[in-house]
Amino acid sequence: MFLNTIIIGKILMNTEIYFEKDGDLSFLQNRDIAIIGYGNQGKAQALNLRDSGCKVIIGNQDDDYKLRAKKDGFETFSIAESVSQAEIIFLLIPDEIMKGVFEKQILPNLGENKVLVFASGYNIGFKIIDPPEQTDVLLIAPRMIGAGVRENYLLGKGFYSFISIEQDASGKAKHILLALCKALGTLKKGAVFLSFKQEAVLDLFNEQAFGPAFGRVLLSSIYTLIDAGYSEEAVLIEMILSGEMEYVYQKFSKIGMVKQLDLHSHTSQYGAITRGIKFTSLPLKKKFSEILENIESGGFTEEWEKDINKLKLKFLKFFATRTRINKIEKNVRKNLQKKEYDIFDQPMPSKEDVRKAEIIKKELDDFEEYMNEF
């Protein structure tokens, strides 16, 4: 384990980071594992655990995902059956439906001395799910999509994860956690210990602050150039389709933001550094702090838990099909003979949806207007 002490405000924080030598697979002997959900993470994590010598079964509803698991050679069961059969239970289903599945299908079959493993801090960190006291509650949240979890395991490279322990009923939670991390392959790269809530907040902040702000900067650049008369094709190639930015971002990760400057021309280095000063007064920090506060206080979670906002999302995704950038992208992709030129489409909400959304009509009208200008 590596311990790095940092000072945030006036609080001393220790960052605990775990590596390969910290995990002992013998803690998984005679402990059967059930993976609930065979989607992005479920498939990848089930295969990694099995290849590391664990006994793994799959719990899923009767449908295509279950068939996929069978084809991959797993024994499959209903969610309820798999929960009663295994000692360690990974919950790898979408966060927004987890509470319902947990209360109806998992809790009644849980029994005692079980270990629950989450891949996101959301439901525990924001107290949406409240597991029984006699259960170990662990977090292994990969900073990687499912396909990457599998691919990097096979390549022996590993992937970063955020890990945590919310309840240690067995007194062995840390040993089990690190053994599972080793079997999944994450210790090859490093697992960072933090709380469930911190993991969830980091994830939501990235999605709600950095992501949209970055999107806005990109769009402003694209529209500035197109409105100044540059061709849509040339602008989209310059800003996105060339893949150059993707490559630069990879270099941020591999060698660092400052060092990667060396890979650009001197003209580029001079221009980027001298013009950077013009953007230091963007009011981002204030907005980012507001978004962070809304996430940390549970404001966002409370909003998203309401069914009306699932309906709102349907409308927002439909409005997104009408944005200026979606039209430009479709056109440019077609002209460049890219196969996926009309990938983003969303059906118009039904009459029934429109009727149900009557109570948020004003809000939807505002969003529609804002997205038409987007």
**Which residues of this chain interact with ligand NDP, rule CB under 6 A?**
37-42, 60-61, 63, 65, 92-95, 97, 101, 119-120, 141-142, 145-146
In terms of Cβ atoms closer than 10 Å to its own Cβ (0-12, 13-18, 19+), residue 11 is: exposed
Judged by beta carbon, residue 178 or residue 184, the one nearer ligand NDP is 184
Going by C-alpha positions, the residue among 122, 118, 121 that lies closest to residue 136 is: 118
- Contact between 95 and 113 under an 8 Å Cβ cutoff? The reply is no
DSSP character for 121? S
DSSP string, 309-361: HHHHHHHHHHHHHTSHHHHHHHHHHHHTT-TTTT----PPPPHHHHHHGGGGH
Q: How far is the CB of 102 from ligand NDP (least distance, A)?
A: 10
- For residue 307 the two structure tokens come to 């069914």
Judged by beta carbon, residue 123 or residue 326, the one nearer ligand NDP is 123
Q: How far is the CB of 61 from ligand NDP (least distance, A)?
A: 4
Judged by beta carbon, residue 47 or residue 222, the one nearer ligand NDP is 47
Q: How far is the CB of 118 from ligand NDP (least distance, A)?
A: 6
Judged by beta carbon, residue 65 or residue 318, the one nearer ligand NDP is 65
DSSP character for 119? S
- For residue 148 the two structure tokens come to 């990457």
The residue with its CB nearest to ligand NDP is 39
Q: How far is the CB of 123 from ligand NDP (least distance, A)?
A: 8
Judged by beta carbon, residue 61 or residue 331, the one nearer ligand NDP is 61
The residue type at 251:
K
- Contact between 190 and 19 under an 8 Å Cβ cutoff? The reply is yes
Q: How far is the CB of 36 from ligand NDP (least distance, A)?
A: 7
Pairing of strands 160-167, 136-142: antiparallel
Judged by beta carbon, residue 162 or residue 319, the one nearer ligand NDP is 162
Distance in Å from the first CA to the final CA of the chain: 47
CA 242 from centre of chain: 25
For residues 224 and 319, what is the distance between their CA atoms, to the nearest angstrom?
Answer: 22
Q: How far is the CB of 94 from ligand NDP (least distance, A)?
A: 5
Judged by beta carbon, residue 145 or residue 284, the one nearer ligand NDP is 145
Q: How far is the CB of 83 from ligand NDP (least distance, A)?
A: 12
Residue with tokens 């069978």: 70
Q: How far is the CB of 37 from ligand NDP (least distance, A)?
A: 4
Judged by beta carbon, residue 131 or residue 235, the one nearer ligand NDP is 131
Secondary structure class of 9 (helix, strand, coil): coil
